Each structure stands twice: as C-alpha cells, then as structure tokens.
C-alpha cells in the first residue's frame, strides 16, 4: 500500500489542519523610530512605509499596534543633540525615555522594548566611547550602556535590548538594573549580531552610521557559526532573558543552531532593514508578490526555531494573517 501525501494537501482546510509551523501577530515586534529632530512623521527614503515619529505622534503608533495585535514594539531614539559621550542616551527626559512614556500613556497593550546603544547618540556614530586613537573603551562603554538601560527601565520599558555588541555589556546592564531595584526588567540580548551588509537602510533611518572605521571588532564574522554559539553562551551566563540572531534571512542556519543549542531560551530573530528594503523594491517593480514573500519569509524564521520576529513588515503581516 502506498501513501499519497497529496491527500492532506487537497483543500485549504486540510492544509491548515496539519500545518506544522504557526505564525501569529503576537509573535511579531515592530521596530519604531522616535525622533526629536522632526515635528511630523517622515518616511525613510530607503525604507518605504517606515517612518520617523515625533514623540507626540506615538499615540498613533500605539493605536495601530494594538489594532494589529502585535506582540511588541522596539523603540529607537533619534536625539536632536549628539556628543562624544552619547549623553542623551541616558537622559531622564531623552527622546526614547519620553517615547516609552508616550506609548504607555496611549494604552499600548504589548511589550515595550527599547534599544540600548550609543551609535544614534554619539557624534562619531560608534556604539560606545572611544579613546584618542579611535578604539572602543569597553569598560567605560559598558558603564554608559548600563546607565542608559537603567534610565529606560525607569521610564517604563518592559525589556531593554542592548545592540552595541560589546563584550560584557549584558552583565553590566543586569548589575545596573538590579542595583537600581529594577529586577523585573528583562534583557533582550543582541547575543549574535553579525557584521552584516544588510544594515544600510537602518543607518539611514536612525542617523547612526559611523563617521570612520567599522564595527567588525565587536560584531560576529558572517562566516562563523561556532563563534556565534559562544557569544550566545556568554550572554546567557551574564543574565540575558532572551537571545537574538541578527540579521535573519541569510542566517537561518544560525537560528536553527541556536534553537538546538539553547532549547530552553526564548529566541528572537531580527528581520533587518536591508531585508525589508529589498522586498519593498522588488514588490514596487512588480517582480514579486509582497504579501506571499513576506509571509513565507516570516514563516521560515518560525520554522527555523525563532519564537519572536522583529520586523518592519509587522503591521502589514498582521493584517495579512487576519485576512
């Protein structure tokens, strides 16, 4: 007797009944840029459909995210003033801190996570503090990142998400949060952040491109997987509550390896700006069906083992999933 696998593909209802991987809006996190440079929402030229939002417009973001049933928002701040210390990153009334308050006041129901990095806040565009030769000062950078995380947690952030990819930052942040009595604030660690070419549009959106040099000394070589597992292990030991692989689409093998190596840890994947913009450009030219490609891509992240997907497609994907 032969088994015909087509029997369970015959109708949409049968296919849905035996579907192995589920994708739901509650698993999606929408990255949001909040700015004090502009007074009205402005579209990012290299990321069609993505906007920079002034603080007083975040009520609209909260309403749209609630309507879509999204699991969370990830906030990135764009300050009006920058300096070599990234002082505004930890300012009590900084743009991201006020953004968190605005989302909470607007009644957003999901998780509010905040980026913790200095690249948007420093005048040199690097993720931390530099010495006179332009090298990263690790210990001082970790202290600044911890102060930033504490400030954002005090503002009401549910999760802090350190993206600087600096050794020791998770331990410094956990220590800082606990010392401030913020023991319930979780850390979404950018535990594996590759030195990727896919980040270009984000740097356009956030104004965080380095003025010189690059970040290859503190981001993972795109050719390496075993190194990535060591990075995860370091962040788990330092107190990370969630792990992340970034970018996503070119690193599905790393997502799967992470799930296998850390089966009990919640795992996020970041569907980054370059991945988003490539899809948008191809769809605008009529070369692909945007809806089908996006949902297939996000399902691929889930199939590889991700629990949470950070994606600029979040609002559209939630609508498509509900249609």
The predicted-structure confidence for 259-273, as pLDDT tens digits, reads as follows 999 999 999 999 999
Q: What is the pLDDT of residue 165?
A: 78
Catalytic residue among 82, 154, 246, 280: 246
Read off φ and ψ for residue 159, nearest 5 degrees: -130, 145
Q: What is the pLDDT of residue 213?
A: 45
Q: Which domain holds residue 302?
A: 22-213+221-322
Low-confidence ranges of the chain (pLDDT < 70): 1-2, 124-136, 206-218, 323
Read off φ and ψ for residue 158, nearest 5 degrees: -80, -35
Is residue 251 one of the residues assigned to a domain? Answer: yes
Catalytic residue among 82, 104, 154, 193: 193
Q: What is the pLDDT of residue 8?
A: 86
In the chain, how many domains are there?
A: 1
Give buried/exposed letters for 133-145 (b at 16+ CB in 10 A, else e): eeebebeebbbbb
Question: What CATH number corresponds to the domain at position 79?
Answer: 3.20.20.70
Is residue 13 one of the residues assigned to a domain? Answer: no
Is residue 36 one of the residues assigned to a domain? Answer: yes
115 vs 148: CA distance, rounded Å = 9
CA torsion 204→240→108→279, rounded to 10°? 40
Is residue 117 one of the residues assigned to a domain? Answer: yes
> What pTM value is reported for the model?
0.93
Q: What is the pLDDT of residue 45?
A: 92
Q: Which of 23, 27, 24 is nearest to 308 (CA)?
A: 27
Is residue 5 one of the residues assigned to a domain? Answer: no
β-bridge pairing 192-193 and 42-44: unpaired
Is residue 9 one of the residues assigned to a domain? Answer: no
User: Six-digit token pair at 323?
Assistant: 């249609």
Q: What is the pLDDT of residue 77?
A: 95
Handedness of CA 71, 269, 199, 233 (dihedral sign): positive
Which residues are paired to 136 by β-bridges? 130
Q: Count Cβ atoms within 10 A of the Cβ of residue 173 and give its class: 0-12 exposed, 13-18 middle, 19 or more buried.
A: buried
Check: CB of residue 112 under 8 Å from CB of residue 103: yes
Q: Would residue 246 show up in a list of annotated catalytic residues for this protein? A: yes
Q: What is the pLDDT of residue 101?
A: 97
* Helix ranges restricted to H, the chain: 12-17, 58-68, 95-105, 138-155, 169-179, 200-206, 226-238, 252-261, 273-284, 290-304, 314-322
Check: CB of residue 55 under 8 Å from CB of residue 76: no
Length of the chain in terms of residues written: 323
Which 8-state DSSP code applies to residue 122? B
Query: Helix, strand, coil % (nearest 5) of the chain?
Result: 45, 20, 35
Q: Which long-range contacts (CB under 8 A, 24 or more apart) does 14-17 make?
A: none
Is residue 7 one of the residues assigned to a domain? Answer: no
Is residue 287 one of the residues assigned to a domain? Answer: yes
């Amino acid at each position: 007797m032969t088994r015909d696998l087509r029997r369970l593909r015959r109708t949409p209802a049968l296919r849905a009944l035996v579907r192995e991987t589920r994708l739901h809006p509650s698993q999606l996190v929408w990255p949001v840029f909040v700015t004090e440079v502009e007074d009205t929402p402005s579209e990012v030229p290299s990321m069609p459909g993505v906007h920079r939002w002034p603080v007083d417009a975040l009520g609209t973001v909260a309403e749209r995210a609630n309507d879509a049933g999204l699991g969370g928002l990830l906030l990135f701040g764009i300050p009006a003033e920058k300096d070599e210390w990234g002082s505004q990153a930890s300012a009590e009334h900084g743009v991201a801190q006020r953004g968190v308050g605005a989302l909470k006041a607007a009644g957003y129901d999901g998780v509010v996570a905040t980026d913790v990095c200095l690249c948007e806040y420093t005048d040199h565009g690097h993720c931390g503090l530099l010495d006179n030769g332009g090298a990263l000062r690790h210990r001082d950078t970790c202290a600044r990142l911890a102060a930033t995380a504490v400030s954002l947690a005090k503002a009401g952030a549910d999760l802090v998400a350190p993206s600087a990819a600096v050794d020791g930052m998770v331990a410094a942040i956990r220590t800082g949060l606990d010392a401030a009595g913020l023991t319930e604030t979780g850390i979404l660690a950018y535990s594996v952040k590759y030195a990727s070419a896919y980040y270009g549009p984000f740097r356009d959106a956030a104004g965080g491109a380095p003025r010189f040099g690059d970040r290859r000394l503190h981001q993972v070589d795109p050719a390496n997987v075993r190194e990535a597992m060591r990075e995860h292990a370091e962040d788990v030991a330092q107190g990370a509550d969630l792990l992340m692989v970034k970018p996503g689409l070119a690193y599905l093998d790393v997502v799967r390896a992470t799930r296998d190596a850390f089966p009990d840890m919640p795992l996020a994947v970041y569907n980054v700006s370059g991945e988003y913009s490539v899809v948008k450009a191809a769809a605008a030219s009529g070369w692909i069906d945007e809806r089908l490609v996006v949902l297939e891509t996000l399902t691929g992240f889930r199939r590889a083992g991700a629990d949470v997907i950070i994606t600029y497609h979040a609002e559209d994907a939630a609508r498509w999933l509900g249609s």
